[in-house]
Amino acid sequence: MRRLRRLAHLVLFCPFSKGLQGRLPGLRVKYVLLVWLGVLAGGWMAYTHYAYHAGLCRGHVCRALICDQYRKGIISGPLCQDLCSPRRVQWRACLSSEPGQQVYSGLWQGQEVTIKCGIEESLQAKAGPDAAPRRELVLFDKPTRGTSIEEFREMTLGFLKANLGDLPSLPTLVGRVLLLADFNGDSRLSLAEAKSVWALLQRNEVLLLLSLREGHAARLLGYCGDLYVTEGAPPGAGPAAALPPALARWLGPAWPWRAKVAVGLLEFVEELFHGAHGTFYMCETTLANVGHTARYDFRMADLRQVVPAAAVRRFLRGRRCEGAADCTYGRDCRAPCDRLLRQCKGELLRPNLAKVCELLGDYLLPGAPADLRAELGRQLRTCSTLSGLASQVEAHHALVLSQLKTLLWKRISSTQYA
C-alpha cells in the first residue's frame, strides 16, 4: 500500500522530476507515463463532456428568461406562477438534442410532464452557459399595444390562413386559440395574454397540437410565454426506435404490439392527409419520432418536423435549384426541380405514406406471422413505392392506406392486443 501511495504521488505531483529515472526502473517509468497520459486524456474527455452538456442543457437560463418577462408583466399564462416559485415545477432529466430547443422531463401538479422552451440564436452565440437574462433575447413583440378580442381574432385568423391555407374550418381553430389565451376565464384579453399566445403560435409543435385531434400526440397542459408543458411519457412508454431487423424479433415488443403501434401511425398519416385543418407533411420520417404508451397506443414523440403543407409550398415555390437536392425542406420533404427554369416546384415527390411504409418494413416484417408475412411485405412494398406529385395520388393513397390498416387490424382486433 505504501508503494502504491508513493507511486501515485510521483505520478500526480512530480512525473517529470529528475529523480524519477533513479527511483523506478525503465520499464516502470513507461507504465507511469502511460498512467499520466491516461489521467490527462480522461480529464480532457470529462471536461469536453461537461462543456457539451452545459451548452446543450440550459433549462436554468430558459427559466430565468421567462420569469424575468413574467415579473415585468410582459407575458402571462397558467404555468407562470408555479414556474417562477421555488419547487412548484420540478425540472428533471435534460432531453435536449439541440441548444436552441430546450426539452426536459419534469413534474407539475403531481403529473409527469415534458417542459419545452426555445432559446434564441443570439443567446447561444454571444453568451456563456450562465449568462444573465436579457429582455431583447425573447421577442414577445406582438401585439405592440392593447387589443380587443375581436382585433386579436382577426390577427390570429390572418396568421392561420398564411400558415395553413384559407380553410373553412379556421374559425373553429381561432376559437381554440382564444380559449387558450383566456386562461383565467374572465372573457377579456390582456396584452400579456395576447403576447404569450402569439409567441406560442410561432412554435410549430404548438400549432400542430391545436390543429390535430387529441390522441396522436401529448396534450398541451400549460404555458408561460412561449415555454409550454405537455403530458410526459407514462410509465412503460417508449420510442419505437428501430432495432436491427435481426434483433427486433427477440428484443423488441411482441409483434401484435408493434402492429397496434403501426395502425396508430397509419391513422396519424391519414389525419395529416385529410385533417380538418389542412394537409401536413412529415419532413423527418424516422422511427425515433414515433412513440407509444404503456399499452402501445401510438403517440408522435416529436411534432417539430410535421409541417403545414402551405408553409412547405411557400418555402419551395420559386426557389433556385440545380437538382432535387436543392428543393428539400427539413430532412426528406423533397420537390422536383424544373431544370429549364431552375426553380423548385411546389409539390413533393413522395407522400407521407410512402415514407412511413418504408419505415414499417423493418419494424413489422421481423417476427410477423408466417401466414401474413408475404401479403404484408407485398402491401408495404406497394405502399413505399408511391410517388409522383402528392396531389395526383390521392385516390390511390387512400386505397393503399385503407388496405394496409385493415390487414393489420383484422389480425389483432379480436385478441388481447387490440
Residue 122 — very low, low, confident or very high, per pLDDT cuts 50/70/90? very low
Average pLDDT over residues 202-208: 91
CA separation (Å) from 169 to 164, 204, 275, 383, 415?
10, 19, 10, 30, 38
Q: Under DSSP, is residue 128 helix (H, G, I), strand (E, B) or coil?
A: coil
- Asked whether the predicted pLDDT for residue 308 surpasses 80, the reply is yes
Residue 217 — very low, low, confident or very high, per pLDDT cuts 50/70/90? confident
Q: What proportion of the chain, given as a percentage, has pLDDT over 90?
A: 45
- CATH class given for the domain over 238-412: mainly alpha
- Is residue 21 within 8 Å of 29, Cβ to Cβ? yes
User: Quick one: CA dihedral 205, 83, 120, 157, positive or negative?
Assistant: positive
Q: Report pLDDT digits (tens) over 167-203.
A: 999 999 999 999 999 898 888 889 999 999 999 999 9
pLDDT at 53: 53
Residue 295 — very low, low, confident or very high, per pLDDT cuts 50/70/90? confident
* Residues, the chain: 418
pLDDT at 234: 57
Average pLDDT over residues 347-372: 91
- Asked whether the predicted pLDDT for residue 10 surpasses 60, the reply is no
pLDDT at 198: 94
CA distance between the termini of the chain:
64
Average pLDDT over residues 230-245: 63
Residue 129 — very low, low, confident or very high, per pLDDT cuts 50/70/90? very low
DSSP state of 238: E
Average pLDDT over residues 372-397: 81
Bridge partners of 337, per DSSP, are: 344
Highest mean pLDDT of the ranges 121-130, 145-154, 304-313: 304-313
Bridge partners of 299, per DSSP, are: 291
pLDDT at 172: 94
Q: Which three cell numbers stand for residue 312?
A: 412547405
Output the average pLDDT for the chain: 81
Q: Which three cell numbers stand for residue 239?
A: 420510442
CA separation (Å) from 283 to 25, 140, 307, 313, 352?
63, 28, 7, 13, 9
**% helix / strand / coil in the chain, to the nearest 5?**
50, 15, 35
Residue 132 — very low, low, confident or very high, per pLDDT cuts 50/70/90? very low
pLDDT at 20: 46
- Asked whether the predicted pLDDT for residue 18 surpasses 60, the reply is no
Give the Cα separation of 293 and 103 in Å (integer). Answer: 19
The domains of the chain are located at 11-49, 59-124+139-232, 238-412
Lowest mean pLDDT among 3-17, 236-250, 253-267, 394-408: 3-17
Residue 305 — very low, low, confident or very high, per pLDDT cuts 50/70/90? confident
Q: Report pLDDT digits (tens) over 28-78.
A: 556 666 766 766 666 555 544 444 455 789 999 999 999 999 999 999 999
Q: Which residue in this structure is represented by grid cell 447561444?
A: 124
Looking at per-residue pLDDT, the higher value among 99 and 258 belongs to: 258
Residue 131 — very low, low, confident or very high, per pLDDT cuts 50/70/90? very low
pLDDT at 101: 87
Average pLDDT over residues 244-273: 82
Average pLDDT over residues 411-417: 79
